C-alpha cells in the first residue's frame, strides 16, 4: 500500500499505513525471506518488523484490514463492545480482479504462493486507494 500511495504522488504522511499480526509469531523479525524475494523481483520495497495488533490501534487508525477470518475475529476480540466495528473490514473487500474472500497464507507453500499474495494485495490495495482518493 505504501508503494502505491507514493506512486500516486500522495505526500508522505497524508496516508499512514502499518502492518500488525494478531499472534505473537515473528515479533521483531523482518518480512519472510520469500516475501522479500518476491517483492524485490517486482521492484517493491519490504520494510519494517513484525509487531502485534493492540487495542490502541483502534484509535490510531481510521481503517483496520484483516487478511483472513482468523485475524478478523482476533481483531474483533480486542473490541468486545463493538465500539470500532465499523473500522474493521476484510482486505479482499477492496479487490476487483480477484474473487478471494481471504488472503491466503503462503508460509507453508512454495514461492508461487508469495507471488499470488502480492498480486492479490496489489489488487486490493489499488481498490482501497481508489476509494480513499474519492
Give the number of domains in the chain: 1
Which structural domain, as residue segments, surrounds residue 112? 21-129
In what helix (H) or strand (E) does residue 64 lie, and over which residues does it extend?
Answer: strand 64-66
Cα distance between residue 117 and residue 106, in whole Å: 7
9, part of any domain? no
Q: Which one, of 68, 126, 72, 69, lies nearest residue 97 by Cα?
A: 126
Global confidence as pTM: 0.92
Give the CATH number of the domain where residue 48 resides.
3.40.50.2300
pLDDT digits (tens, 9 = 90+) for 53-109: 999 999 999 999 999 999 999 999 999 999 999 999 999 999 999 999 999 999 888
Amino acid at each position: 500500500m505504501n508503494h502505491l500511495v507514493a506512486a500516486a504522488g500522495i505526500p508522505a504522511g497524508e496516508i499512514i499505513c502499518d502492518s500488525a499480526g494478531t499472534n505473537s509469531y515473528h515479533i521483531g523479525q523482518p518480512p519472510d525471506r520469500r516475501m522479500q524475494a518476491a517483492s524485490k523481483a517486482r521492484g517493491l520495497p519490504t520494510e519494517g518488523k513484525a509487531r502485534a495488533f493492540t487495542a490502541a490501534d483502534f484509535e490510531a487508525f481510521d481503517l483496520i484490514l484483516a487478511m483472513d477470518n482468523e485475524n478478523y475475529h482476533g481483531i474483533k476480540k480486542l473490541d468486545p463492545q463493538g465500539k470500532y466495528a465499523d473500522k474493521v473490514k476484510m482486505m479482499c473487500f477492496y479487490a476487483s480482479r480477484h474473487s478471494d474472500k481471504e488472503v491466503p497464507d503462503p508460509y507453508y507453500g512454495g514461492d508461487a504462493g508469495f507471488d499470488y499474495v502480492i498480486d492479490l494485495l496489489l489488487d486490493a490495495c489499488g481498490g482501497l486507494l481508489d476509494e480513499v482518493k474519492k
